[in-house]
Structure 1
Amino acid sequence: MSASPLLQEGLSLMAFGMGFVFVFLTLLVAVTSGMSRLVTRFSPPAPGPATPPPASTTPDDPELMAVIGAAVRRYRRHHDN
């Protein structure tokens, strides 16, 4: 078998494969876009942005600060190698 018919068959197989993938991906994009439009049409509107809780205006708790400080000292003592 000469190289020319084999090359011709390889190129036609490549074109068929690339065409199949192109058609499949185009169909996939079309179906996905259609589903997106369908969902946005029939879904309820999204709620507005949630307001963040107000920042705490109470002063720092001294007991809490002491506990955090002790935890930091203990961590540094055990991991200061």
Structure 2
Amino acid sequence: MDELLAEGLSLMLFGMGFVVVFLTLLVIATNIMSRLVMRFEPAAAPAVPAKGRASSSSASGQPDDQTLVAVMTAAVQKFRADRNGQ
């Protein structure tokens, strides 16, 4: 019985050690790949908004906000009505 317990314990330690080594190598490989990608990837160009688009988006933003508020208000009212009905 002692031999079986000792063998199970050694097998458990071997398996856990293998998992720890594998995960450590996986983290190291992922870090190396990340550094390689960051080194060879070209820098992203900063996005510059067009002047014409900025004014049109702010003008069209108001009706969208009002519509969104109206939809949210209707949804809350329906939820409260359904909850009170149950």
TM-score, with normalisation over the residues of structure 1?
Answer: 0.60
Secondary structure at the aligned position of 1:44 is classed as coil
- What root-mean-square deviation, in Å, do the aligned CA atoms of Structure 1 and Structure 2 show? 3.1
- Which residue does the alignment assign to 2:8? 10
Q: Which portions of structure 1, spanning 4 or more consecutive aligned residues, are displaced by more than 3 angstroms?
A: 49-54
Identity over aligned residues, as a percent? 52
Provide, for residues 8-50 of structure 1, a one-character-per-residue CA deviation record: whole Å limited to 9, x for no partner: 0010000000010011000000100000000000001123256
- Which residue does the alignment assign to 1:25? 23
Structure of larger gyration radius: 1
Alignment coverage as a number of residue pairs: 61
| Structure 1 unaligned residues grouped into runs of 5+ | 66-71, 77-81
Cα distance in structure 2, aligned partners of 1:8 and 1:17: 14
Structure having the larger proportion of residues in helix: 2
Cα distance in structure 2, aligned partners of 1:17 and 1:7: 15
Amino acid at match of 1:56: A
Secondary structure at the aligned position of 1:19 is classed as helix
Q: 1:43 aligns with which of 23, 41, 44?
A: 41
- Which residue does the alignment assign to 2:70? none
TM-score, with normalisation over the residues of structure 2?
Answer: 0.57
Cα distance in structure 2, aligned partners of 1:29 and 1:13: 24
